[in-house]
Structure 1
Amino acid sequence: MTDTQTLLDNRLPSLATLFLQRVAETPDREAFRYPVPPASGQGPDEWTPLTWQQTADRVFAMAAGLMALGVRPEERVAIASNTRIEWVLADLGVLCAGAATTTVYPSTNADETAFILSDSGSRVLIAEDAAQLAKARAKRAELPELAHVVVIEGADAVPAEGDPDGWVLSLTELEKRGLALLDERPDAVRDQVAALRADQLATLIYTSGTTGRPKGVRLPHDAWSYMAVSIGNINLLDEDDLQYLWLPLAHVFGKVLTAGQIYVGHSTAVDGRIDKIIENLPVVRPTYMCAVPRIFEKVYNGVAAKAREGGAAKYKVFQWAAGVAREYARVSQDNFRRTGTASVPLGLRTKHALADKLVYAKLREAFGGRLRAAVSGSASLAPEIGYFFAGAGINILEGYGMTESSAASFLNPENYRTGTVGKALPGLEVRIADDGEILLRGPGIMQGYHGQPEKTEEVLEPDGWLHTGDIGELSPDGYLRITDRKKDLIKTSGGKYVAPAEVEGRFKAVCPYVSNILVHGADRNYCTALIALDEPSILAWAGENGLAGRTYAEVVASPQVGELIEGYVQELNSGLQRWQTIKKFRLLPRDLDVEHGELTPSLKLKRPVVEREYRHLIEEMYAGTRET
């Protein structure tokens, strides 16, 4: 059997080349399935399959259509759409046309959308619907290079007064133009793919960023080819797997999943509607899925809230089962690390078996009953949440990467360790700098920031080492633990360092009502916290505790909820060092969200934004104290 390093050394130059190889090898196997609403408008969605050959037919039509519009190699084609099958097909079409995909979150406002389209020099925008078309139309005068807008929802592809001729067309029309070109030149797309170079620009992903304007990260074809081969050779997936893909494909985490899929050849169910996840999982019954920590936190809080609604006895059973799950996971992982076998004592096995019948089995069924692995990335998962799911039989494999490293750099193997992000993927070099910063070097590292050489020089050394900005520790056998963002470390006025993410993660495991928390304390003499609660969970509690009928803002402002959360803060503090403890906190009048700019589209906290918006609450918590 060929070893991984040999495969990496001899990898094909592009993901497009790998795609053609996949189609040739397994043309009739299912590649994707996607939901189609019933014609009557009533009842559940019908999941429609696409074979690899059917996928290639549409991809070729789109690629040729872009070529017919005059798109040339490395020219940018932007996609502004929610996750759906057309996003995947369009992205592959762009790659097969030799062009480069620019990603735009559909939630991005018109000004920032225009900035990304302008900064990238995008020639074509593939827009999901009328709302995305309207953003480009409103800023068309600022976008002289944008020659066409292709609208996925055909009914929305309506030209308006003032639009240049042919500026707006439907995705169906694009494919028709492509088929016409292929009638004349049947090998046009294959020839374009054959001409691709490994160092040619494939993707321009704009980091949502927690501060300032987004930066365009330049990722070449070779980065995705490397990702495909490395992910495909760590024994995580096989061709019989079924992935459930809901992550935003404008984010690098969602994008990298298609690379691994093409190499392995498994099928993916695509539906980006977040409100459909709970409904879809028992229908799709995936064996594998990826998510951000907030999803697992919401599931955990939801299960806890449901148990609480069942009465005191049922909630007590849940709490007992959660404790057993965490103990079982810790003991089995510790024993495997020491002895190579994940054994647990008989007494714990007996308790675990009972808890499985009462709690865990129902939880696994909610995920479809076949989930073999779930990968968590984009931010750190609270270890207590990870241990709970691990003990319940849902293996959450934490991973780590950045847009600048093509998403996947570290991933926990089958014998994973909760609280770490696993081992480096094959072909990636890693070292820890003197100040604890994680440095990476390998084929997945970006070429640089688009049009910003000074910004590139700040993070990318001439010899290829990328400064991640994250602080971490490597175990002797190569497991990486992320402790915090370098810029987010808090130094109190007493000279003590605090990692806010660690404290925040612990609180999420302790308090089942929390949605988001921000720990503050830089240059202060103690730490404080801004806490946003999960609306469904806290309103359910309110209904059972004499506060029914009140709004979220009224509930969180009540003395009863203040006392409730105070208890959880004290529980958190009991496990912290003195200088880490939360001396004061304030409950926010609403949850943090993407729409208000407080979270990135991948649900990361924008600390400067939140601290600026709630500066009055922060100052209130330090009022009357003398800073030292």
Structure 2
Amino acid sequence: MDRGTVIDLLRRNAAEHPDILAIVDGDSRLTWGEYASGAGAVALALLDLGVRRGEVVGLHMVNRAEHVLSDLGALLAGAIPTSYYNTLTHDQLAYVAADSACRVAIVDADKLDTWLAIRDRLPRLRALVVVGGEAQGPVVSYEDIVARAARAYGDRWQEVGRTAARVRPEDTATIVYTSGTTGHPKGAVITHAGIRAALDGVVGRAVEDIGGHPAPGYAQISYLPLAHMAERTITHYLACRIASTVTYVRDIRELADALPAVRPQVFLAVPRVWEKLRSAVVSRAADRTLLRRAVVVATAAGRLGPLGRIEHALHRPFHRAIRARLGLDRMVIAVSGAAPIPPDVLAFFRGIGVPVVEAYGMTETSAVLTIDSLRSPTPGTVGRPLPGVELRIAADGEILAKGTTIVPGYHNRPDADAEAFDADGWLRTGDLGSLDADGRLRVTGRKKELIITAAGKNISPANVEQAIGSASDLIGSVYAHGDGKPYLVALLTLDATSWKPWCQARGVPARTTAEAAAHPAVLAEVARAVAAGNTRLSRVEQVKRWALLDRPWDGTTGELTPTLKLKRPVIREKYAADLAELHRSPRT
């Protein structure tokens, strides 16, 4: 019987698709039948550790089989699994673990020292379980306790059955902490009902577009942090909904090699990943005339603008080869989310035959509010709301939302609840946008991130950063600045994956990012890209001065969140002197 929980999906798959492969993690392979029994063993082990209904089980692991087995095992035990970002500092980890009242933590061996260092700050922590490590002192071995529970499960499965039977759709399925672009993270309370509503909406939209239900056994890749709601929804929970086969990639740097091996049929990527995949093609095309032309033709075709059908048809063999080389040749559902994707990147993938659509949502909406149509996408929009979701635009342009996917509130934060929801229960998304006559949403910027210049002009920095960043594959992150100033300036970084191939293709001698950033040829290309980006912006949006930094930003350097969003307050403080110097220098 399906009562509307995530647990019911797991049990249905075990009953209806027991032999279909569910998990691939290195040499480990688990079918849906084995997944369900493995999660049951984890649940029993947690009950033996004293876990009670409604208590939090903290998960601090890379994307691996044990992570999702523990997640569903905690649900079966009536607990609340909560994943923590792997890039958190000691203080940040101590904060979220204490705020969530973590009672049992299941952690990778390389994170054990961190947990031992902060354990005195976690008086509610009852047990520390290490994956791939040895039991020592207060630490127990995941492998030992789960193996012991698995041996006893045949005689004690009713204990798990009783705790699982008490789980209701309105219960908390997980607490997801925002990645913290400002201040302490907030824990959004995600319910089973919210997750199921989001999954039903996404699958329903896919059925409309592809003409049938996604087949059991569809291939997926999980590589973004499972502490991020979009990743949890589109790989972990969606896998339960459609009985897909998920390959877990423990290091995002291995994604480029994993894609051709897995050839996923459903794939989620943030815009920066789509940009990197496109950059890999463009770099190889630098000295190959036909391939370079194929990239140009694909991008033009993907813009849905005028293009000779004959030329596009002539380049289809090249486009097939590109898809195969990237590992995207079996793609059925490809989603870009978490931030706006540059139009040329979206156009390129659509032009080579990869049906990328934009989706819009946030942690507080169980990841998804809207999704564009695979069959008839509308460039520049993020599609129509899912069933059960209402959108409206406030007087100041902010997008407001109501619906079954939206969280009931934040954990331990009534102040945050009051700030996030208006008196009528509408969620203030913090994003600015508009709705067209057909109900499609266009997102135009972040309300709190608007730059207001000295002349009083309101500017969305995301539009500026996208225009400049997409003008060259050499450019990585871009940060636009100018609040209260007469004009905009920008900090730029080199793309960590493309600067070396770019330099090698042009004979630029550079062994390090710093050497590349100082080379005249690199500086000339960045200057060209800024000028090209400026041509796509209004006069007040244009960047007048810029600086190229000597190292890239990523989720570990402090300037980006784990999902590669800019931490604007951090950047403003860290690079205050650089920004001040740009504004002091003569305007160009």
Q: Which TM-score band applies after superposition, normalised by the shorter structure?
A: over 0.9
Residue aligned with 1:430, SS: strand
- Give the conservation status (yes or no) of the 8 Å contact 1:110–1:135: yes
Q: Select 1:134's aligned residue among 93, 113, 120.
A: 113
- Give the conservation status (yes or no) of the 8 Å contact 2:266–2:331: yes
2:40 aligns with 60
Residue aligned with 1:408, SS: coil
Question: Are residues 488 and 444 of structure 1, via their aligned partners in 2, closer, same or farther at CA, if it must alter by over 3 Å?
Answer: same
- Give the conservation status (yes or no) of the 8 Å contact 1:65–1:175: yes
Q: Select 2:281's aligned residue among 275, 295, 303.
A: 303
1:411, CA displacement in angstroms?
Answer: 1.3
1:27 aligns with 18
1:238 equivalent in alignment to 2:229: no
2:528 and 2:510 mapped to 1: Cα distance?
Answer: 24
- Give the conservation status (yes or no) of the 8 Å contact 1:386–1:419: no
2:538 and 2:389 mapped to 1: Cα distance?
Answer: 35
- Letter in structure 2 aligned against 1:393: G
Q: Select 2:177's aligned residue among 192, 206, 219.
A: 206
Overall identity of the aligned pairs, in %: 36
1:17 aligns with 8
Q: Select 2:267's aligned residue among 278, 286, 289.
A: 289
- Give the conservation status (yes or no) of the 8 Å contact 1:126–1:150: yes
1:469 and 1:215 mapped to 2: Cα distance?
Answer: 15
Q: Select 1:226's aligned residue among 171, 176, 197.
A: 197
1:596 equivalent in alignment to 2:557: yes
2:585 and 2:468 mapped to 1: Cα distance?
Answer: 27
1:536, CA displacement in angstroms?
Answer: 4.4
Deviations 1:460-518 (A, max 9, x none): 23543111101111121122121111111111111222111112112232111111101
Residue aligned with 2:185, SS: coil
Q: Select 1:381's aligned residue among 341, 349, 361.
A: 341
1:151 aligns with 130
1:250 equivalent in alignment to 2:227: yes
1:146 and 1:417 mapped to 2: Cα distance?
Answer: 49
CA RMSD in angstroms, aligned pairs only? 2.1
- Letter in structure 1 aligned against 2:130: V
Deviations 1:216-265 (A, max 9, x none): 11112222222232233222533252112222111111111222222222
1:433, CA displacement in angstroms?
Answer: 0.9
1:319, CA displacement in angstroms?
Answer: 4.7
Q: Select 1:324's aligned residue among 265, 287, 297.
A: 297
Question: Are residues 64 and 421 of structure 1, via their aligned partners in 2, closer, same or farther at CA, if it must alter by over 3 Å?
Answer: same
2:508 and 2:299 mapped to 1: Cα distance?
Answer: 33
Unmatched 5+ stretches in structure 1: 1-9, 37-47, 333-344
- Give the conservation status (yes or no) of the 8 Å contact 1:227–1:444: yes
Q: Which moved more, 1:318-327 or 1:260-269?
A: 318-327
- Give the conservation status (yes or no) of the 8 Å contact 2:358–2:372: yes
- Letter in structure 2 aligned against 1:30: L
- Letter in structure 2 aligned against 1:128: D
Deviations 1:283-317 (A, max 9, x none): 21211211111111111122212222xx3xx2x54
How many residues are treated as equivalent by the alignment?
579
- Give the conservation status (yes or no) of the 8 Å contact 2:22–2:217: no
TM-score (norm: length of structure 1): 0.88
Question: Are residues 447 and 146 of structure 1, via their aligned partners in 2, closer, same or farther at CA, if it must alter by over 3 Å?
Answer: same
1:339 aligns with none
2:512 aligns with 551
Residue aligned with 1:542, SS: helix
- Give the conservation status (yes or no) of the 8 Å contact 1:527–1:583: yes
- Give the conservation status (yes or no) of the 8 Å contact 1:66–1:178: no
Q: Which moved more, 1:553-562 or 1:356-365?
A: 356-365
1:367 aligns with 327
- Give the conservation status (yes or no) of the 8 Å contact 1:65–1:181: no
- Give the conservation status (yes or no) of the 8 Å contact 1:404–1:446: yes
- Give the conservation status (yes or no) of the 8 Å contact 1:17–1:193: no
Question: Are residues 238 and 435 of structure 1, via their aligned partners in 2, closer, same or farther at CA, if it must alter by over 3 Å?
Answer: farther
1:180, CA displacement in angstroms?
Answer: 5.7
- Give the conservation status (yes or no) of the 8 Å contact 2:328–2:354: no
- Letter in structure 1 aligned against 2:361: G
1:57 and 1:287 mapped to 2: Cα distance?
Answer: 26
Deviations 1:302-343 (A, max 9, x none): 2212222xx3xx2x54553333223222337xxxxxxxxxxx
Unmatched 5+ stretches in structure 2: 208-213
Write out aligned runs for 1:217-616 (5 A).
217-235=188-206, 237-257=214-234, 258-308=236-286, 311=287, 314=288, 317-331=290-304, 348-359=308-319, 361-414=321-374, 415-545=376-506, 547-616=508-577
- Give the conservation status (yes or no) of the 8 Å contact 2:261–2:327: no
1:372, CA displacement in angstroms?
Answer: 2.3
- Give the conservation status (yes or no) of the 8 Å contact 2:322–2:352: no
Deviations 1:113-171 (A, max 9, x none): 11111111111001011x21111111111111111111121xx2331xxx4xxx31122
Residue aligned with 1:488, SS: coil
- Letter in structure 1 aligned against 2:303: R
1:144 and 1:281 mapped to 2: Cα distance?
Answer: 43
- Letter in structure 1 aligned against 2:21: E
Question: Are residues 80 and 559 of structure 1, via their aligned partners in 2, closer, same or farther at CA, if it must alter by over 3 Å?
Answer: same
2:18 and 2:319 mapped to 1: Cα distance?
Answer: 42
- Letter in structure 1 aligned against 2:358: E
